[in-house]
Structure 1
Amino acid sequence: MTAKLPFEALRTFVYAAKSGSFRSAAESLHITRGAVTQRISILETHLGDKLFSRTPHGIELLPAGDKLLNQISGSVEILEEALSSQVVNRRLRIQTVSSFANLWLIPRIGRFNQIFPDIEVVVQTTISLTNLSKGGVTADVGLRYGTGDYPALSSHKILQPSVCLIIATSLLNGVIVDSPHDLLYQFPLIRGSGDSEWDTWLQMFDVSQSQLAWGALLEDDANVLNAVLAKQGIGSVRDIYLADLISSERITVIAKNEHPEEAFYLVGNHDRLALRDARSFHRWLLEEVKKSPSQV
C-alpha cells in the first residue's frame, strides 16, 4: 500500500463496521448508500483485500476488516472530535426563482428552521437550473415552475396554483367586470419572461393580438405584480401570491385558469433528493401546502 488512505473512506468504514449496515452508515454520514459502497471499494482496492461479506441480515467483517477496525477506530473517533468544533450546521442549498422565494418560500421558511434547527437553509434565486444534474455542485435541490420534465433530474410535484389575470382595482373606477374581453383591449398586457400564458388567455377570450397594447416584458411574477400595482396594465400571476392584495382590494381578479399545465416541482439529482435533509424539506413543503388556504 503506497498511497495514504483517505480519511472519509476510513470514517465510512468505521460507521459501516459498527452499525453492520451500509444503509445505517449512509444515514449517519448524510450520504447515499452508493457513496458508502464506493468508499469501501476504494479502501479494499488500497488494501488489496475484502473487508466485508454480505449476509441476509446485513454485512459482517472479514478478518482483514476486523483487523483494520481495531487499528483505526480510536484514531478516527479522536479526529472526528477534533474536527467537530469546526463543522457548521448541516447546509441545504435551495435554488428557485425570486418570485417564489420572496413571496412564498421565505415567509414560511422560519417554520422549517424551528422544526429542523440543525439544518442551515441557503436560498439562492436564479432563472436557470444550475448544476443540479451534477450532484448539487451549486445547489442541492431546486424549486421550479414547469411541467416536471427536467432531463437527468428527478422531480416531485409540490403545488399547482391557479393562474389569474389581475388589474389594479383603482384602474377599474368602480366598473363591474362581466368579461375580460373588452378590458384586454383597454389596457397594456404585462408579460413575464418565458411566459406563454398569454396565448392561452387570448385564445380563451377570442382576442386578436394585432389590436392589443403590450406592456413591459418582465422577469417573473414578482415584477409583473409590482407593475400591476403601479397601474401599468393587466398581468398574469399565480394565485398563491395574491391573497393579501385581494383582501385589501388593491387588485381585482378578472379571470382565473384553475387547471394550468404547469406546477411547482422539487427538482434535483436523484441521490441528493434521497438524502435525509432533502427528504425532510420535501415533507415539510407538502405540509405547508396543506396549511395554505385557497388563495382566490
Structure 2
Amino acid sequence: MKPLPSLDVLKTFAVVAQRLNFTRAAELLNVTQGAVSRQISGLEAHLGYALFVRQPRGLALTPNGAMLLAPVQQALAQIAEALERSDAQSGTLRVKCPTCAMRWILPRVIRLQNERPELVIEVTAAVSHGVEFNAEQFDAAVVFGQPSLKGVSVHHLFDEVLTPVCAPGLLADSARDITPDDLADQTLLHPTRDRRDWLRWLAAYGYRGLPSAKAQHFDTLDLAISSAMQGLGVTIGDLSLIEEDLAAHRIVTPFSLCVPSGASYYLIYPERPAPSKVLSEFADWMEGEAARTRAGLSRYLEQA
C-alpha cells in the first residue's frame, strides 16, 4: 500500500479542483502559484496518473481526478469537523481576517480577551479577502465585499466609506477651505495598484484624474494608513476602520466629502455543524461592536 500523501497536498488538490485555476487556488491558500503547481505535479507523480488536463484557459479534472475529489473532500470535511469539536471544547476560536480590517478587529479582540480571559481567540491576518472553510482551518472569517459562499451564516458589520486621510497639520485643518487642487504637491498613497479608491473619491468630487503625479503604492490599506500617520502623504481611508485613530487624533480627514464604495465587511461562518457556544457569543459581540461603529460613523458624517 502506498504511503498517504500529506494533508496539505490533499487540501491543495481539493482547492484546485474547486477553482480549476492554479492562480486562484494559490490566492486562497496564501502560497505562490509555483508552489501549487509543484504540489499537484508531485501528487500526480505519487499516484501514477494525471489529475488535471492543462487547458489554455484553465484546468479540467481527468476521470481519475474526478473520482478522487469526492472522498478527499469528505475526508477533509470530517477532519475539519473533528477539529472544530475539539476547539469548541477548549474554548479556542480561530478567525481569519483581511489585513485591512485588522486595525478595527484586533484592539477589540484584545479588550474582549482581557474581559473574558477564558476565551482564546486566534485572529490570523491574510492579504486575501476570501475564505474556504472546507480547506482552511478557521471557525469564522471577516470578509470584504459580498459573500458568495453557500452554507454560511452572514452578519453584516459595516459599509466601506472612503475619504482622504493624513497626519494632523499636513493639510489645512479647515475642511471647507481646501479642494483636491491642494493635493497637487502631496504624495498620494494608494492602497491598490489600480488607484481605484482615489479615482472613485475624486470622481464624486467632480475631478477627473489625479491631482498629483507623486505616488506610492501599497499591498494593503493598513500599510497606506500607517504611512499617512507618519506624515508621508495622503491616502484614502475607510472611516469605519480608522474610527479609533480619528478619536485619538492620530489621523485627520481634511475633506468633508465621504463616498460609500458599495462594499461592506461581514462576519461569516459555516452553518453546519451548528456554531459552538463560543462562536455564537463571538458573533453577538461582533454585531454589538459593529453597531457602535456604525453609530459613531453616523455622528461623524453628520458633523462633516
TM-score by length of 1: 0.59
In the alignment, which residue of structure 2 is the partner of 1:221?
221
1:3-152 mapped onto 2 (5 Å cutoff): 89-101=90-102, 103-113=103-113, 117-129=117-129, 132-134=132-134, 137-146=136-145, 148-152=146-150
Superposition deviation, residue 169 in structure 1: 2.9
User: Does residue 203 of structure 1 match 2:185?
Assistant: no
SS of residue in 1 equivalent to 2:217 = strand
Distance 1:114 1:211 in 2: 45
Whether the aligned pair in 1 keeps the contact of 2:189 and 2:215 (CA below 8 Å) is yes
Which ranges in structure 2 are unaligned for 5 or more consecutive residues?
Answer: 1-73, 79-85
Distance 1:132 1:183 in 2: 44
Whether the aligned pair in 2 keeps the contact of 1:162 and 1:256 (CA below 8 Å) is no
Distance 2:114 2:235 in 1: 36
What percent of counterpart residues are identical? 16
Distance 1:142 1:159, change over 3 A: same
Distance 2:130 2:173 in 1: 46
Output the amino acid matched with 2:144: Y
Superposition deviation, residue 111 in structure 1: 4.4
SS of residue in 2 equivalent to 1:170 = coil
In the alignment, which residue of structure 2 is the partner of 1:234?
234
In the alignment, which residue of structure 2 is the partner of 1:294?
296
Superposition deviation, residue 178 in structure 1: 2.8
SS of residue in 2 equivalent to 1:186 = coil
SS of residue in 2 equivalent to 1:216 = strand
Deviations 1:247-287 (A, max 9, x none): 53753432442533111101233326744332221111111
Whether the aligned pair in 2 keeps the contact of 1:190 and 1:224 (CA below 8 Å) is yes
In the alignment, which residue of structure 2 is the partner of 1:172?
171
Distance 2:175 2:254 in 1: 11
In the alignment, which residue of structure 2 is the partner of 1:263?
264
Output the amino acid matched with 2:237: V
Distance 2:262 2:243 in 1: 20
Distance 1:181 1:272 in 2: 51
Which ranges in structure 1 are unaligned for 5 or more consecutive residues?
Answer: 1-34, 40-83
Superposition deviation, residue 212 in structure 1: 3.2
Superposition deviation, residue 145 in structure 1: 2.0
Whether the aligned pair in 1 keeps the contact of 2:224 and 2:235 (CA below 8 Å) is yes
Distance 1:276 1:203, change over 3 A: same
Distance 1:244 1:273, change over 3 A: farther
Larger Rg: 1
Whether the aligned pair in 2 keeps the contact of 1:140 and 1:272 (CA below 8 Å) is no
Distance 1:191 1:273, change over 3 A: farther
Distance 1:88 1:249, change over 3 A: closer
Distance 1:285 1:250, change over 3 A: closer
CA RMSD of aligned residues (A): 3.4
Whether the aligned pair in 2 keeps the contact of 1:145 and 1:264 (CA below 8 Å) is yes
